[in-house]
Copies of this chain bind each other. A is one copy, B any other.
Amino acid sequence: MKDSNAKSLNTSITKAFHLLDHFNSIKPEWGVRELAKETGANKSTTYRMLATLESLGVLRKDQTSEKYSLGLKLFELGNRVPVKHAFINHTHPVLQLVAAEITETVHLGILKDQQVFMLDKVESPKGLKLNSVIGTFSPAYCSGLGKVLLAHLDPLQQKKTLHAIALKANTEFTITKKAKLKKQLEQIKNQAYAIDRQELELGLICVAVPVYNQDDHVIAALSAAGPAIRFKEEKIEEYVAILQKGANMIRQKIGSLTL
């Protein structure tokens, strides 16, 4: 049973984090009036909340422009989140090894609210970079990471998830039929890896494998992604092997951790 019966949540705290959500890479700086306009909140309220958050170091205010941006307190708290110490700090060296061996960008992600949450990334040593950002969400049905994670959900949750998501076509290659997706997820579970051939972005190919813990639960997924031009079909088998080696190293390091 979900909390359909709304508990008595603190409105100020909810509003404050709603404000913080608007500070992103697209618009990292906000003034009082523009943020109030964007959120639909009253400008007095917005002003006082921003002032409060600034006094806590959660926001910082530029001296000259008088605009706010996210502050060091959030960096501090973000680094204290257990997943950082318990997981990412251990997996990052593995990602580096895999990235060095495949010479493509490597990602580590988990499934969260029916989307892929990007936990870590090591960029390709080569020129072409991807615009993925750690700590962001992306759709699950059209990425290698997402399809691997969906494929290894237990049947009930997978059914729920597939029912809940909408398959929007990002490119001409995106899977938009649920029957087709479900069939492919079965195949992915059997072959133990997923391929995304330009389903999310044209020209972007990605291979992903599941990451198991020592209780044999899939707790994350590991992928290598690169431009279609140099991501040759005949190399995929080799990439999968390297990724699986990496996933095994992670498994050894993390024990029976769950996320």
- A residues engaging B (CB < 8 A)? 3, 6-14, 16-17, 20, 23-25, 28, 48-49, 51-53, 55-56, 58, 69-85, 112, 117, 133-136
Contacts and interface: CB of A to CB of B under 8 A. Distances in A.
A9 B48 contact: yes
Contact of A80 (B23, B81, B85): B23
Copies of this chain, tallied across the complex: 2
A77 B13 contact: no
A12 B13 contact: yes
A254 to B, nearest CB: 17
Given A13-B12, A80-B24, A117 B51 contact: no
A79 B28 CA distance: 12
Contacts of A80: 23-25, 28, 70, 74, 135
A116 to B, nearest CB: 12
B135 A52 contact: no
Contact of A133 (B53, B55, B79): B79
Contact of A56 (B17, B24, B133, B136): B17
Given A72-B112, A117-B72, A79 B14 contact: no
Contacts of A3: 55
A77 B82 CA distance: 15
A256 to B, nearest CB: 14
A165 B133 CA distance: 39
23 contacts: A3-B55, A8-B48, A9-B51, A9-B55, A12-B13, A13-B49, A17-B58, A17-B73, A20-B77, A23-B80, A25-B80, A70-B81, A71-B81, A72-B81, A72-B112, A72-B117, A75-B78, A76-B136, A77-B77, A77-B135, A79-B133, A79-B135, A80-B135
